[in-house]
Chains A and B, each alone.
Chain A
Amino acid sequence: RKEVEQDPGPFNVPEGATVAFNCTYSNSASQSFFWYRQDCRKEPKLLMSVYSSGNEDGRFTAQLNRASQYISLLIRDSKLSDSATYLCVVNKGYGGATNKLIFGTGTLLAVQP
């Protein structure tokens, strides 16, 4: 079983739609959680951290369920520019252990006009 699992998609949605991605992780001791965005043939970039209480950044909402060991990302009012691969990332280390990041394989989102 992979340490971080995501539905690879693709998710094909029309502009303006709401879309949700889920991610599950296997290590219950994981400390922190993130969503990265990767455009085609580009480098990954941090989209947002995922807080225990849930957090929102504009049209993006991230949720964490520690009991079920899953993370979600909700995108409202999808834009063409949201088309990208979304990577779920889990830090299974303690404190600032940036060498303990585990990357999911990503979920591809294609927003259609």
Chain B
Amino acid sequence: DADVTQTPRNRITKTGKRIMLECSQTKGHDRMYWYRQDPGLGLRLIYYSFDVKDINKGEISDGYSVSRQAQAKFSLSLESAIPNQTALYFCATSDFGLAGERSGELFFGEGSRLTVL
């Protein structure tokens, strides 16, 4: 089983619908992230959480919200989906306090492909 699990893996929805993407992890990491990946734009950070009581906006948080329900669970919501939110979404985790050469080590889930019509 994957250490970082995302559900659903694929979702097609309509403009204006509310969508939730869920992420759970068994790695025991405190830090969790949501990224989106678009062709030609690379991975961009939406939200991140360094522990259960900590939520922070990333580079592109508009139109999204998150909830950190437990150390192992971090969900991403689109309150009213729009077509330009069509993308591949990744949840990731990392260990706390790594520095130097380990400061870039993220563990990604398998991705959730979202299409908004």
B106 proximal to A (CB < 8 A): yes
Which residue from A42, A91, A95, A104 sits with its C-beta under 8 Å from B104? A91
Chain B positions 28 through 70: 1 when the CB is less than 8 Å from some CB of chain A, otherwise 0: 0001010000001111110010100000101000000000000
- The answer to whether A101 touches B106 (Cβ under 8 A) is yes
> Is the CB–CB distance between A105 and B103 below 8 Å?
no
**Contact (Cβ within 8 A) B42 A43:** no
> Is B101 in contact with A51, judged by CB distance below 8 angstroms?
yes
A34 to chain B, nearest CB (A): 4
Q: Is A80 an interface residue (CB 8 A)?
A: no
Q: A98-B98, A105-B41 are in contact. Are A46 and B104 (CB under 8 A)?
A: yes
**Size range of the chain A interface in the assembly:** 20 to 34
Structural contact, A31 and B110, CB atoms closer than 8 A = no
Determine whether B90 belongs to the interface, using a CB cutoff of 8 Å to chain A.
yes
Chain A 38-57 near chain B by CB (<8 Å), digits 1 or 0: 00011111100101000000
- Is A110 part of the contact surface with B, judged by Cβ < 8 Å? no
Q: Chain A residues with Cβ under 8 A from B111's Cβ?
A: 41-43
Interface membership of chain A positions 81-92, coded 1 if the CB is closer than 8 angstroms to chain B and 0 otherwise: 000000101010
Chain A, Cβ-Cβ closest to B101: A49
Does A99 count as interface, using CB distance less than 8 angstroms? yes
Given A43-B90, A87-B42, CB of A99 within 8 Å of CB of B56: yes
Complex CA distance for A45 and B106, rounded to whole angstroms? 8
User: A43 near B108 (CB under 8 angstroms)?
Assistant: yes
Give A contacts to B, CB under 8 Å.
4, 8, 31-34, 41-46, 49, 51, 87, 89, 91, 93, 95-99, 101, 103-106
List 6 contacting pairs A-B, 8 Å CB cutoff, sorted by A. Answer: A43-B90, A44-B108, A91-B103, A95-B103, A101-B104, A106-B42
**B-to-A contact residues, CB < 8 Å:** 31, 33, 40-45, 48, 50, 56, 58, 90, 94, 96-106, 108-111
